[in-house]
Amino acid sequence: MVTHAFRLVRVFLFVVAALACGAATARAESVCDADGVQTSGAKYRICMPPSGYNGILVIWAHGFQDAGTPVSIPEDQLCVNDFCLPDIINGLGFGFATTSYSKTGLAVLQGKADILDLVTVFASEKGPPKKVYLIGASEGGLITALMVEQHPDIFSAGVAACGPVGNFRAQIDYFGDGRATFEYFFPGLIPGDPFNPPASLASTWPQYYEDVVKPALLNPDNRSLLDQWVRVAKLPYDPADYLTTVEHSARDVLRYSIVNLVDAAATLGGLPFDNRRRWYMGSDNDLKLNLMVPRATASPTALATMMTSYNTSGMLNRPLITLHTLLDQQVPYWHEPWYDLKTLLSGSLLTRHLNIPVDRYGHCNFTKGDALLSFAVMLLYDGMAAEVNGTGSYLDPADLAAFEQRAQSVGLPSRRSGSALSITIKQD
């Protein structure tokens, strides 16, 4: 949710590149119109195949951008290494569109409105698409889930990757708990009010973290404090690389509270974090911890806004595939069983919703096989995918075995044979 949604872009690029590399389909360059401006002030981009448009639109819902950064289409989420998302999607024959959203920082509602408007803009400029798929990561994953739930008349299916789809307030609390308990274990290391950081700190945070906070975290003399904080704040880490991944988790959790909490409060109508009645556990002295940890009271307006406008319902009339790493340090995996429960109660679990868990550390940290499976399963659920061919030419042996096992479990036909990977698409 905070950054690094480009990781999902990278693997999604690999997936659509693989789809495009079938012998009968040569990858074509995109024909992108000049960026336009939506009525909200958001910037949008539409790219089309030079020929062979199949009438289907794919919209990319990008991930979180730090508050205070300029409103712009995040280019680092469109192009990674030698691949650019519009080129690959257009090479498959799909239309492509994306929007910057009209604000940075917390932009879920703005993203929803701008994506809806983008569908209308696309239809006006290129003609109404016969299908619209929505793919999103991190904050864009939450936007995708909400849009597929709320607008089945517009979106045929979606993939929501590494997004806070289970409970938005709990996501805010995860960041807030990390900052509050950090103040107990490392008092005064970060200047200012833990729940209202000064703008001067936000603007210099990356350097301040590297110069001051990181050395304190990794100081051997502070190892017991660090370990206690990790347990209390429930920070994910890779046991095989404890210090590196703990430091990574610490950096991401603290970044949100320092750089983005003020914007979230302004957007939601008040401070969204509340730990008045929270009992923290995992320290050497939990009684002392809970007596001394900084406490905050959330704004009733912010709580009501999060409940009514930022929470998913689990009620699906269209397929939604979710993809999440088990050790996600920004958007914890517990969002997925929470969303599973919602879709179970609504009757959508397995029938229209499938979660694909990935046993790995890192936010949006997926392999080609992970992303291929989620995209192909989305097409399968929408009745569009007939078979995945040539997986042996595309996946490494370990990923291939895992892919085949998971594909078989959801009824996705796949074959290793074929000189290049392709997906047979059922035609309407």
pLDDT, tens digit (0-9, with 9 covering 90-100), for 262-299: 999 999 999 999 999 999 999 999 999 999 999 999 99
Query: Residue 422 — pLDDT band, cuts 50, 70, 90?
Result: confident
CA distance 179 to 263: 16
Q: Hey, is 301 helix, strand or coil?
A: helix
pLDDT for the residue numbered 135 = 94
What's the whole-number mean pLDDT along residues 196-223? 97
Q: Which of 23-27, 208-212, 362-366, 388-392 has the lowest mean pLDDT?
A: 23-27
pLDDT for the residue numbered 366 = 85
The tokens for 152 are 């089945």
What is the sign of the dihedral through the CA atoms of 401, 407, 409 and 413?
negative
pLDDT digit string, tens, across residues 175-203: 999 999 999 999 999 999 999 999 999 99
What's the whole-number mean pLDDT along residues 388-402? 87
Query: Residue 90 — pLDDT band, cuts 50, 70, 90?
Result: confident
As annotated, the residues of the chain forming the CATH 3.40.50.1820 domain(s) are: 6-166+313-425
Residue 297 carries which side chain, given as an amino acid letter? Answer: T
Contact assessment for residue 223 and residue 229, using Cβ atoms and an 8 Å cutoff: no
| b/e burial code for range 219-237 (CB count within 10 A of at least 16 → b) | eeebeebbbbbbebbbbbb
What's the whole-number mean pLDDT along residues 210-230? 98
Give the Å distances, CA to CA, from 38 to 96, 123, 378: 16, 14, 29
pLDDT for the residue numbered 27 = 42
Query: Residue 50 — pLDDT band, cuts 50, 70, 90?
Result: very high
CA distance 137 to 151: 18
pLDDT for the residue numbered 323 = 97
Residue 206, pLDDT > 60, answer yes
Q: So what CATH class is 6-166+313-425?
A: alpha beta
What's the whole-number mean pLDDT along residues 206-229? 98
For residue 366, which of 387, 409, 386, 395 has the smallest C-alpha distance?
395
pLDDT for the residue numbered 6 = 53
* Burial degree of 145 (CB within 10 A; 0-12, 13-18, 19+): buried
Residue 421, pLDDT > 60, answer yes
Share of the chain above pLDDT 90, in %: 76
Residue 411, pLDDT > 80, answer yes
Query: Residue 26 — pLDDT band, cuts 50, 70, 90?
Result: very low
Predicted structure pTM score: 0.93
pLDDT for the residue numbered 375 = 82
The tokens for 234 are 């429930």
pLDDT for the residue numbered 125 = 98
What's the whole-number mean pLDDT along residues 130-136? 96
Please spell the DSSP secondary structure of 236-264, one letter per residue. ---GGGHHHHHHHHHHHHHHIIIIIHHHH
Angle at which helices 168-185 and 335-346 cross, to 10° = 160
Residue 241, pLDDT > 60, answer yes
Which residues fall within 8 angstroms of residue 175, CB to CB, at 6 or more apart? 253, 256, 257, 261, 273
What's the whole-number mean pLDDT along residues 381-396? 87
The tokens for 177 are 């708990």
Which residues fall within 8 angstroms of residue 127, CB to CB, at 6 or more apart? none
Residue 23, pLDDT > 50, answer no
Give the Å distances, CA to CA, from 239 to 232, 243, 283, 327, 361: 17, 9, 19, 10, 10
Residue 21, pLDDT > 50, answer no
Please spell the DSSP secondary structure of 378-426, one letter per residue. HHHHTT-EEEEE-GGGTS-HHHHHHHHHHHHHTT--B-S-SSS-EEEEP
pLDDT for the residue numbered 30 = 86
What's the whole-number mean pLDDT along residues 318-346? 98
